[in-house]
Amino acid sequence: MFRDVDTHLGRLDALVNNAGVIGWEGRVADVAAGDLAQLWATNVTSYFLCAREAVRRMSISKGGSGGAIVNVSSLAARTGGKPGRVHYAASKGAIDAFTRGLAREVAGEGIRVNAVAPGLIETGIHASIGKSLPQANGIPLGRSGRADEVAAAIIWLMSDQASYVAGANLEIGGGV
């Protein structure tokens, strides 16, 4: 993927790490190691590998011109997730730690790293495990969010308007 970017698009200025699967619903006591490894590969390992390639290209110490990385986490990382989805919340908690650590690691190389943590957003992730979008009960703004609202926050974090923002995790959850 990154070779294609190099060949067809040229200089890399920004990366949005946006991968996430719920995987299954189930208690920690019943989790299978293989299922957990598969979830971790998508929700965590993929972020590390894409960030590795982006840093190699963006770093001013390696001839790049700097840039921005935005990781998509989840409010579940802060809340621990719903019962039966602790594995998902834990994987997104790893992304929160990764974001803060990588931000400190590469700030001096001209790369800003931040995250967004969406709450209940109208996407297909719930349908992926055979569930409909949950009700917006308990959300102070009284509704679920939209993908374009999350996208706007990501675009802002990548922009020059956020040039002094690094290591932040912007929660987009309607006040939860």
pLDDT in tens, 40-89: 999 999 999 999 999 999 999 999 999 999 999 999 999 999 999 999 99
- What's the pLDDT tens digit per position in 82-111? 999 999 999 999 999 999 999 999 999 999
Domains of the chain, residue spans:
2-172
Please, which pLDDT band fits residue 161 given cuts at 50, 70 and 90?
very high
Give the model's pLDDT for residue 132.
66
pTM over cut 0.85: yes
CATH number of 2-172: 3.40.50.720
Catalytic center residues: 88
**Structural Rg of the chain based on CA atoms:** 17
C-alpha to C-alpha distances, 136 to 39, 139, 144, 166, nearest whole angstrom: 26, 6, 6, 31
